[in-house]
Chains A and B, each alone.
Chain A
Protein backbone atom coordinates (compact mmCIF):
# COMPACT_ATOMS: atom_id res chain seq x y z
CA UNK A 1 0.00 0.00 0.00
CA UNK A 2 2.96 2.31 0.64
CA UNK A 3 3.89 1.90 -3.00
CA UNK A 4 0.40 3.01 -3.97
CA UNK A 5 0.49 6.17 -1.91
CA UNK A 6 3.95 6.96 -3.28
CA UNK A 7 2.66 6.54 -6.78
CA UNK A 8 -0.33 8.69 -5.92
CA UNK A 9 1.87 11.49 -4.60
CA UNK A 10 4.09 11.18 -7.63
CA UNK A 11 1.14 11.50 -9.99
CA UNK A 12 -0.15 14.52 -8.08
CA UNK A 13 3.28 16.15 -8.31
CA UNK A 14 3.38 15.41 -12.03
CA UNK A 15 -0.08 16.90 -12.47
CA UNK A 16 0.80 20.01 -10.46
CA UNK A 17 4.04 20.38 -12.39
CA UNK A 18 2.22 20.07 -15.67
CA UNK A 19 -0.59 22.44 -14.75
CA UNK A 20 1.50 25.21 -13.23
CA UNK A 21 4.39 24.70 -15.62
CA UNK A 22 2.22 25.10 -18.72
CA UNK A 23 0.36 28.02 -17.21
CA UNK A 24 3.58 29.84 -16.29
CA UNK A 25 5.12 29.11 -19.65
CA UNK A 26 2.17 30.39 -21.64
CA UNK A 27 2.01 33.52 -19.51
CA UNK A 28 5.73 34.11 -19.88
CA UNK A 29 5.64 33.70 -23.66
CA UNK A 30 2.78 36.19 -23.90
CA UNK A 31 4.81 38.72 -21.94
CA UNK A 32 7.92 37.99 -24.03
CA UNK A 33 6.02 38.57 -27.27
CA UNK A 34 4.61 41.94 -26.21
CA UNK A 35 7.88 43.20 -24.78
CA UNK A 36 9.82 42.04 -27.84
CA UNK A 37 7.58 44.26 -29.95
CA UNK A 38 7.98 47.18 -27.55
CA UNK A 39 11.76 46.90 -27.50
CA UNK A 40 12.20 46.09 -31.19
CA UNK A 41 13.78 49.52 -31.64
CA UNK A 42 16.79 48.61 -29.52
CA UNK A 43 19.19 46.79 -31.85
CA UNK A 44 21.62 44.13 -30.68
CA UNK A 45 24.71 42.96 -32.54
CA UNK A 46 27.32 40.31 -32.04
CA UNK A 47 30.05 42.43 -33.73
CA UNK A 48 32.86 43.38 -31.46
CA UNK A 49 33.78 46.51 -33.45
CA UNK A 50 30.95 48.80 -34.43
CA UNK A 51 31.12 50.75 -37.68
CA UNK A 52 32.48 54.23 -37.09
CA UNK A 53 29.60 56.59 -36.51
CA UNK A 54 29.67 60.07 -35.10
CA UNK A 55 26.54 59.26 -33.06
CA UNK A 56 28.50 56.82 -30.87
CA UNK A 57 29.86 59.24 -28.29
CA UNK A 58 29.10 57.38 -25.14
CA UNK A 59 29.30 53.75 -24.13
CA UNK A 60 28.04 51.69 -21.25
CA UNK A 61 28.00 48.12 -20.14
CA UNK A 62 24.45 46.82 -20.21
CA UNK A 63 23.24 43.42 -19.10
CA UNK A 64 20.28 41.37 -18.10
CA UNK A 65 20.06 38.10 -16.27
CA UNK A 66 17.30 35.69 -15.43
CA UNK A 67 16.93 32.51 -13.43
CA UNK A 68 14.21 30.07 -14.44
CA UNK A 69 13.34 26.75 -12.88
CA UNK A 70 11.99 23.75 -14.69
CA UNK A 71 8.80 22.15 -13.40
CA UNK A 72 8.48 18.65 -11.99
CA UNK A 73 6.66 17.32 -15.04
CA UNK A 74 9.23 18.51 -17.55
CA UNK A 75 12.08 17.32 -15.42
CA UNK A 76 10.57 13.84 -15.38
CA UNK A 77 10.01 13.91 -19.14
CA UNK A 78 13.62 14.94 -19.70
CA UNK A 79 14.69 12.08 -17.44
CA UNK A 80 12.75 9.62 -19.57
CA UNK A 81 14.18 11.25 -22.68
CA UNK A 82 17.71 10.66 -21.42
CA UNK A 83 17.16 6.91 -21.83
CA UNK A 84 16.65 6.99 -25.54
CA UNK A 85 18.07 10.34 -26.64
CA UNK A 86 16.72 12.87 -29.07
CA UNK A 87 15.62 16.47 -28.72
CA UNK A 88 14.95 17.27 -25.10
CA UNK A 89 11.98 19.41 -25.99
CA UNK A 90 11.10 19.98 -22.35
CA UNK A 91 14.40 21.81 -21.80
CA UNK A 92 14.28 23.62 -25.13
CA UNK A 93 11.48 25.97 -24.14
CA UNK A 94 13.13 26.57 -20.75
CA UNK A 95 16.34 27.77 -22.36
CA UNK A 96 14.53 29.66 -25.09
CA UNK A 97 12.50 31.57 -22.52
CA UNK A 98 15.58 32.29 -20.42
CA UNK A 99 17.62 33.60 -23.35
CA UNK A 100 14.84 35.82 -24.63
CA UNK A 101 13.97 37.12 -21.19
CA UNK A 102 17.60 37.95 -20.41
CA UNK A 103 17.94 39.72 -23.77
CA UNK A 104 14.79 41.73 -23.04
CA UNK A 105 16.10 42.77 -19.66
CA UNK A 106 19.35 43.88 -21.23
CA UNK A 107 17.40 45.89 -23.82
CA UNK A 108 15.33 47.45 -21.06
CA UNK A 109 18.55 48.34 -19.26
CA UNK A 110 19.89 49.98 -22.42
CA UNK A 111 16.63 51.83 -22.99
CA UNK A 112 16.69 53.17 -19.46
CA UNK A 113 20.20 54.45 -20.08
CA UNK A 114 19.13 56.04 -23.35
CA UNK A 115 20.90 53.77 -25.83
CA UNK A 116 19.59 52.34 -29.11
CA UNK A 117 22.41 50.00 -30.10
CA UNK A 118 24.20 47.24 -28.21
CA UNK A 119 27.35 45.65 -29.61
CA UNK A 120 29.47 42.68 -28.68
CA UNK A 121 26.48 40.90 -27.12
CA UNK A 122 27.36 37.70 -25.29
CA UNK A 123 25.36 35.00 -23.53
CA UNK A 124 26.45 33.15 -20.42
CA UNK A 125 24.47 30.13 -19.27
CA UNK A 126 24.81 28.37 -15.95
CA UNK A 127 22.81 25.62 -14.33
CA UNK A 128 22.21 26.61 -10.76
CA UNK A 129 20.64 24.00 -8.58
CA UNK A 130 22.09 20.65 -9.23
CA UNK A 131 19.74 18.49 -7.27
CA UNK A 132 20.11 14.85 -6.41
CA UNK A 133 21.62 12.87 -9.21
CA UNK A 134 22.90 16.06 -10.87
CA UNK A 135 19.55 16.81 -12.44
CA UNK A 136 19.42 20.36 -13.63
CA UNK A 137 16.81 22.20 -11.58
CA UNK A 138 17.09 25.79 -12.71
CA UNK A 139 19.24 27.77 -15.08
CA UNK A 140 20.62 31.26 -15.18
CA UNK A 141 21.19 33.14 -18.42
CA UNK A 142 23.15 36.35 -18.35
CA UNK A 143 23.36 38.54 -21.42
CA UNK A 144 25.67 41.50 -21.61
CA UNK A 145 27.05 43.87 -24.20
CA UNK A 146 28.36 47.34 -24.86
CA UNK A 147 25.74 49.92 -25.53
CA UNK A 148 26.81 52.78 -27.78
CA UNK A 149 25.00 55.99 -28.51
CA UNK A 150 24.63 59.64 -27.72
CA UNK A 151 23.73 58.73 -24.15
CA UNK A 152 21.78 60.68 -21.61
Chain B
Protein backbone atom coordinates (compact mmCIF):
# COMPACT_ATOMS: atom_id res chain seq x y z
CA UNK B 1 0.00 0.00 0.00
CA UNK B 2 2.68 2.47 -0.98
CA UNK B 3 0.28 5.19 -2.14
CA UNK B 4 -0.82 5.90 1.46
CA UNK B 5 0.93 7.76 4.20
CA UNK B 6 -0.02 9.78 7.29
CA UNK B 7 1.08 13.38 7.07
CA UNK B 8 2.41 14.94 10.22
CA UNK B 9 0.23 17.85 11.23
CA UNK B 10 2.09 21.02 12.09
CA UNK B 11 1.80 22.03 15.74
CA UNK B 12 -0.60 24.83 16.63
CA UNK B 13 -3.14 23.92 14.01
CA UNK B 14 -5.65 22.87 16.61
CA UNK B 15 -4.19 24.84 19.50
CA UNK B 16 -3.81 28.60 19.36
CA UNK B 17 -0.42 29.98 20.28
CA UNK B 18 -1.73 32.40 22.91
CA UNK B 19 -0.10 31.94 26.29
CA UNK B 20 -2.77 31.19 28.89
CA UNK B 21 -1.31 33.78 31.25
CA UNK B 22 -1.60 36.53 28.65
CA UNK B 23 -5.13 35.40 27.89
CA UNK B 24 -5.95 35.51 31.59
CA UNK B 25 -4.51 38.99 32.13
CA UNK B 26 -6.25 40.56 29.16
CA UNK B 27 -9.57 38.90 30.01
CA UNK B 28 -9.49 39.81 33.71
CA UNK B 29 -8.35 43.35 32.99
CA UNK B 30 -11.00 43.90 30.36
CA UNK B 31 -13.82 42.41 32.38
CA UNK B 32 -12.83 44.28 35.54
CA UNK B 33 -12.79 47.53 33.58
CA UNK B 34 -16.25 46.79 32.24
CA UNK B 35 -17.46 45.88 35.75
CA UNK B 36 -16.16 49.15 37.19
CA UNK B 37 -17.74 51.23 34.44
CA UNK B 38 -20.99 49.36 34.98
CA UNK B 39 -20.83 49.82 38.75
CA UNK B 40 -20.15 53.50 38.30
CA UNK B 41 -23.06 53.94 35.89
CA UNK B 42 -25.37 51.97 38.14
CA UNK B 43 -24.36 54.02 41.15
CA UNK B 44 -25.24 57.20 39.30
CA UNK B 45 -28.54 55.79 38.05
CA UNK B 46 -29.31 54.48 41.54
CA UNK B 47 -28.60 57.82 43.18
CA UNK B 48 -30.79 59.56 40.66
CA UNK B 49 -33.66 57.08 40.98
CA UNK B 50 -33.70 56.54 44.73
CA UNK B 51 -35.02 59.95 45.85
CA UNK B 52 -37.83 59.55 43.34
CA UNK B 53 -39.11 56.46 45.16
CA UNK B 54 -42.23 57.46 47.09
CA UNK B 55 -41.68 57.44 50.82
CA UNK B 56 -44.64 55.06 51.34
CA UNK B 57 -42.70 52.36 49.49
CA UNK B 58 -39.70 52.87 51.68
CA UNK B 59 -41.96 52.69 54.72
CA UNK B 60 -43.03 49.18 53.75
CA UNK B 61 -39.38 48.10 53.60
CA UNK B 62 -38.83 49.92 56.87
CA UNK B 63 -41.51 47.81 58.53
CA UNK B 64 -39.71 44.67 57.43
CA UNK B 65 -36.43 46.05 58.74
CA UNK B 66 -38.05 46.92 62.04
CA UNK B 67 -39.43 43.44 62.57
CA UNK B 68 -36.02 41.93 61.78
CA UNK B 69 -34.42 44.32 64.24
CA UNK B 70 -36.95 43.34 66.86
CA UNK B 71 -36.07 39.68 66.36
CA UNK B 72 -32.31 40.18 66.15
CA UNK B 73 -31.70 42.60 68.97
CA UNK B 74 -34.53 41.86 71.35
CA UNK B 75 -35.40 45.56 71.39
CA UNK B 76 -36.98 46.97 74.48
CA UNK B 77 -38.85 50.22 74.18
CA UNK B 78 -39.13 50.57 77.99
CA UNK B 79 -35.58 51.91 78.46
CA UNK B 80 -35.44 55.47 79.81
CA UNK B 81 -32.50 55.95 77.42
CA UNK B 82 -34.80 55.37 74.48
CA UNK B 83 -37.21 58.06 75.60
CA UNK B 84 -34.34 60.48 76.11
CA UNK B 85 -32.87 59.72 72.65
CA UNK B 86 -36.29 59.93 71.05
CA UNK B 87 -36.84 63.41 72.52
CA UNK B 88 -33.48 64.59 71.16
CA UNK B 89 -34.18 63.13 67.72
CA UNK B 90 -37.65 64.70 67.55
CA UNK B 91 -36.12 68.07 68.31
CA UNK B 92 -33.38 67.51 65.72
CA UNK B 93 -35.79 66.43 63.05
CA UNK B 94 -37.84 69.63 63.49
CA UNK B 95 -34.67 71.72 63.28
CA UNK B 96 -33.35 69.99 60.18
CA UNK B 97 -36.65 70.23 58.35
CA UNK B 98 -36.35 74.02 58.54
CA UNK B 99 -33.13 73.84 56.48
CA UNK B 100 -33.35 74.01 52.74
CA UNK B 101 -33.42 70.55 51.22
CA UNK B 102 -33.71 68.95 47.83
CA UNK B 103 -35.74 66.16 49.33
CA UNK B 104 -39.46 66.56 48.90
CA UNK B 105 -40.77 63.53 50.75
CA UNK B 106 -39.70 61.90 53.97
CA UNK B 107 -41.06 60.39 57.15
CA UNK B 108 -43.22 62.40 59.51
CA UNK B 109 -41.40 61.11 62.55
CA UNK B 110 -38.15 59.28 63.15
CA UNK B 111 -38.13 56.28 65.47
CA UNK B 112 -35.17 55.58 67.72
CA UNK B 113 -34.32 52.05 68.80
CA UNK B 114 -32.05 51.46 71.76
CA UNK B 115 -29.97 48.29 71.63
CA UNK B 116 -27.86 46.73 74.37
CA UNK B 117 -24.50 46.09 72.75
CA UNK B 118 -20.76 46.18 73.46
CA UNK B 119 -20.02 47.93 70.18
CA UNK B 120 -20.43 51.69 70.24
CA UNK B 121 -22.44 52.52 67.15
CA UNK B 122 -25.41 54.38 65.77
CA UNK B 123 -26.91 53.91 62.34
CA UNK B 124 -29.83 55.06 60.26
CA UNK B 125 -31.88 52.62 58.27
CA UNK B 126 -34.95 52.38 56.05
CA UNK B 127 -38.31 53.73 57.14
CA UNK B 128 -36.92 56.61 59.20
CA UNK B 129 -35.35 54.48 61.93
CA UNK B 130 -32.22 55.08 63.95
CA UNK B 131 -30.51 52.42 66.05
CA UNK B 132 -28.31 53.51 68.95
CA UNK B 133 -26.28 51.05 70.99
CA UNK B 134 -25.84 51.21 74.75
CA UNK B 135 -22.03 51.28 74.38
CA UNK B 136 -22.31 54.57 72.46
CA UNK B 137 -24.06 56.19 75.41
CA UNK B 138 -21.33 54.81 77.69
CA UNK B 139 -18.53 56.27 75.58
CA UNK B 140 -20.03 59.73 75.16
CA UNK B 141 -19.97 61.98 78.20
CA UNK B 142 -21.50 65.21 76.94
CA UNK B 143 -24.79 66.01 75.29
CA UNK B 144 -23.16 67.88 72.38
CA UNK B 145 -21.24 64.77 71.37
CA UNK B 146 -24.39 62.68 71.34
CA UNK B 147 -26.32 65.47 69.63
CA UNK B 148 -23.84 65.51 66.78
CA UNK B 149 -24.03 61.75 66.24
CA UNK B 150 -27.83 61.78 66.30
CA UNK B 151 -27.93 64.83 63.99
CA UNK B 152 -25.67 62.96 61.58
CA UNK B 153 -28.02 59.97 61.50
CA UNK B 154 -31.09 62.18 61.20
CA UNK B 155 -29.42 63.93 58.26
CA UNK B 156 -28.93 60.53 56.56
CA UNK B 157 -32.67 60.04 56.81
CA UNK B 158 -33.42 63.58 55.70
CA UNK B 159 -31.36 63.11 52.54
CA UNK B 160 -32.84 59.61 52.13
CA UNK B 161 -29.42 57.96 52.06
CA UNK B 162 -30.68 54.52 53.23
CA UNK B 163 -32.99 54.09 50.24
CA UNK B 164 -30.21 55.31 47.96
CA UNK B 165 -27.81 52.75 49.38
CA UNK B 166 -30.37 49.96 49.16
CA UNK B 167 -31.47 51.14 45.72
CA UNK B 168 -27.95 50.92 44.39
CA UNK B 169 -27.39 47.56 46.00
CA UNK B 170 -30.60 46.15 44.53
CA UNK B 171 -29.85 47.52 41.08
CA UNK B 172 -26.37 46.13 41.29
CA UNK B 173 -27.36 42.64 42.33
CA UNK B 174 -30.12 42.63 39.70
CA UNK B 175 -27.65 43.37 36.94
CA UNK B 176 -25.16 40.90 38.41
CA UNK B 177 -27.69 38.10 38.51
CA UNK B 178 -28.67 38.91 34.93
CA UNK B 179 -25.04 38.37 33.99
CA UNK B 180 -24.10 35.46 36.18
CA UNK B 181 -27.53 33.89 36.70
CA UNK B 182 -27.46 31.98 33.45
CA UNK B 183 -23.91 30.97 34.20
CA UNK B 184 -24.82 30.02 37.75
CA UNK B 185 -21.25 29.56 38.82
CA UNK B 186 -20.82 30.08 42.54
CA UNK B 187 -17.23 31.14 42.23
CA UNK B 188 -17.93 33.89 39.77
CA UNK B 189 -20.98 35.03 41.71
CA UNK B 190 -18.83 35.25 44.75
CA UNK B 191 -16.06 37.12 43.04
CA UNK B 192 -18.25 39.63 41.27
CA UNK B 193 -20.21 40.19 44.47
CA UNK B 194 -17.00 41.05 46.28
CA UNK B 195 -15.89 43.55 43.69
CA UNK B 196 -19.40 44.92 43.75
CA UNK B 197 -19.51 45.45 47.49
CA UNK B 198 -16.08 47.05 47.43
CA UNK B 199 -17.21 49.77 45.09
CA UNK B 200 -20.60 50.17 46.75
CA UNK B 201 -20.17 51.02 50.40
CA UNK B 202 -23.20 51.23 52.64
CA UNK B 203 -23.19 55.00 52.59
CA UNK B 204 -20.56 56.54 50.39
CA UNK B 205 -18.11 59.22 51.47
CA UNK B 206 -20.10 61.98 49.83
CA UNK B 207 -23.20 60.96 51.77
CA UNK B 208 -21.23 60.80 55.02
CA UNK B 209 -19.85 64.27 54.46
CA UNK B 210 -23.22 65.68 53.51
CA UNK B 211 -24.64 64.33 56.77
CA UNK B 212 -21.66 65.58 58.78
CA UNK B 213 -22.09 69.12 57.51
CA UNK B 214 -25.83 69.06 58.08
CA UNK B 215 -25.21 67.78 61.61
CA UNK B 216 -22.71 70.56 62.31
CA UNK B 217 -25.19 73.15 61.06
CA UNK B 218 -27.92 71.74 63.30
CA UNK B 219 -25.53 71.73 66.23
CA UNK B 220 -24.67 75.38 65.71
CA UNK B 221 -28.34 76.23 65.40
CA UNK B 222 -29.13 74.51 68.67
CA UNK B 223 -26.12 75.37 70.84
CA UNK B 224 -24.65 78.43 69.13
CA UNK B 225 -21.32 76.59 68.83
CA UNK B 226 -19.89 73.28 67.65
CA UNK B 227 -17.58 72.52 70.57
CA UNK B 228 -17.51 68.91 71.69
CA UNK B 229 -19.12 67.70 68.49
CA UNK B 230 -16.35 65.24 67.72
CA UNK B 231 -16.26 63.46 71.04
CA UNK B 232 -17.22 60.15 69.50
CA UNK B 233 -14.87 60.58 66.54
CA UNK B 234 -12.02 61.30 68.92
CA UNK B 235 -12.89 58.13 70.80
CA UNK B 236 -12.81 56.26 67.45
CA UNK B 237 -9.39 57.73 66.63
CA UNK B 238 -8.07 56.50 69.97
CA UNK B 239 -9.54 53.06 69.27
CA UNK B 240 -8.01 53.02 65.79
CA UNK B 241 -4.62 53.85 67.25
CA UNK B 242 -5.02 51.01 69.73
CA UNK B 243 -5.94 48.71 66.86
CA UNK B 244 -2.91 49.96 64.92
CA UNK B 245 -0.69 48.83 67.73
CA UNK B 246 -2.34 45.44 67.56
CA UNK B 247 -1.81 45.48 63.81
CA UNK B 248 -5.47 44.99 63.16
CA UNK B 249 -5.89 48.02 61.03
CA UNK B 250 -8.70 48.17 58.51
CA UNK B 251 -7.58 49.97 55.34
CA UNK B 252 -9.39 53.25 54.67
CA UNK B 253 -10.64 51.93 51.38
CA UNK B 254 -12.53 49.13 53.09
CA UNK B 255 -14.09 51.03 55.96
CA UNK B 256 -17.51 52.52 55.47
CA UNK B 257 -16.43 55.80 56.99
CA UNK B 258 -13.60 58.02 55.82
CA UNK B 259 -10.45 58.07 57.87
CA UNK B 260 -11.64 59.50 61.15
CA UNK B 261 -8.74 61.84 61.84
CA UNK B 262 -9.02 63.33 58.35
CA UNK B 263 -12.74 63.66 58.89
CA UNK B 264 -12.33 65.65 62.12
CA UNK B 265 -9.82 68.01 60.47
CA UNK B 266 -12.08 68.56 57.47
CA UNK B 267 -15.12 69.26 59.63
CA UNK B 268 -13.24 71.71 61.83
CA UNK B 269 -12.22 73.57 58.69
CA UNK B 270 -15.80 73.71 57.53
CA UNK B 271 -16.97 74.95 60.92
CA UNK B 272 -14.37 77.71 60.71
CA UNK B 273 -15.35 78.69 57.17
CA UNK B 274 -19.02 78.83 58.07
CA UNK B 275 -18.26 80.70 61.31
CA UNK B 276 -20.14 78.10 63.32
CA UNK B 277 -18.25 79.25 66.38
CA UNK B 278 -19.26 80.79 69.66
CA UNK B 279 -19.52 84.54 70.13
CA UNK B 280 -16.12 85.87 71.19
CA UNK B 281 -15.80 86.08 74.93
CA UNK B 282 -18.70 83.74 75.54
CA UNK B 283 -17.70 80.81 77.74
CA UNK B 284 -18.92 77.38 76.81
CA UNK B 285 -20.02 74.80 79.31
CA UNK B 286 -20.75 71.37 77.93
CA UNK B 287 -23.73 69.69 79.47
CA UNK B 288 -23.01 66.16 80.67
CA UNK B 289 -25.32 63.34 79.67
CA UNK B 290 -27.96 62.46 82.24
CA UNK B 291 -27.28 59.39 84.37
CA UNK B 292 -29.53 56.47 83.57
CA UNK B 293 -30.44 53.72 85.99
Chain B interfacial residues counted at CB < 8 A: 28
Given contacts A53-B1, A92-B14, whether A133 and B186 have CB atoms under 8 Å apart is yes
Task: Tell me, in angstroms, the Cα distance from A34 to B14 when the chains sit together.
Answer: 19
Given contacts A74-B20, A80-B24, A133-B183, whether A96 and B15 have CB atoms under 8 Å apart is yes
> Are B183 and A73 interface neighbours, CB within 8 A?
no
Question: Contacts of A76 on B, CB cut-off 8 Å?
Answer: 24, 187
> Are A132 and B186 interface neighbours, CB within 8 A?
yes
Query: At the interface, yes or no: A82 with Cβ under 8 Å from chain B?
Result: yes
Question: Contacts of B27 on A, CB cut-off 8 Å?
Answer: 77, 80-81, 84
Task: Tell me, in angstroms, the Cα distance from A61 to B124 when the chains sit together.
Answer: 76
Nearest B residue to A72 by beta-carbon distance? B187
> Are B184 and A43 interface neighbours, CB within 8 A?
no
Query: At the interface, yes or no: A10 with Cβ under 8 Å from chain B?
Result: yes
Nearest B residue to A41 by beta-carbon distance? B6
Question: Contacts of A127 on B, CB cut-off 8 Å?
Answer: none
> Are B15 and A3 interface neighbours, CB within 8 A?
no
Question: Contacts of A80 on B, CB cut-off 8 Å?
Answer: 24, 27-28, 31
Question: Contacts of B8 on A, CB cut-off 8 Å?
Answer: 36, 40
Chain A interfacial residues counted at CB < 8 A: 38
Query: At the interface, yes or no: A87 with Cβ under 8 Å from chain B?
Result: yes
Nearest B residue to A55 by beta-carbon distance? B1
Query: At the interface, yes or no: B188 with Cβ under 8 Å from chain A?
Result: yes
Query: At the interface, yes or no: B262 with Cβ under 8 Å from chain A?
Result: no
Query: At the interface, yes or no: B5 with Cβ under 8 Å from chain A?
Result: yes
> Are A132 and B21 interface neighbours, CB within 8 A?
no
Within the complex, what minimum Cβ distance (angstroms) separates A93 from chain B? 5
Q: What are the 8 A-B residue pairs with the smallest beta carbon separation, nearest first? A: A133-B185, A80-B27, A89-B16, A133-B184, A96-B14, A93-B15, A92-B15, A96-B15
Q: A3-B197, A10-B187, A44-B6 are in contact. List 4 more A-B contacts (CB 8 A).
A: A21-B20, A51-B1, A73-B24, A74-B20
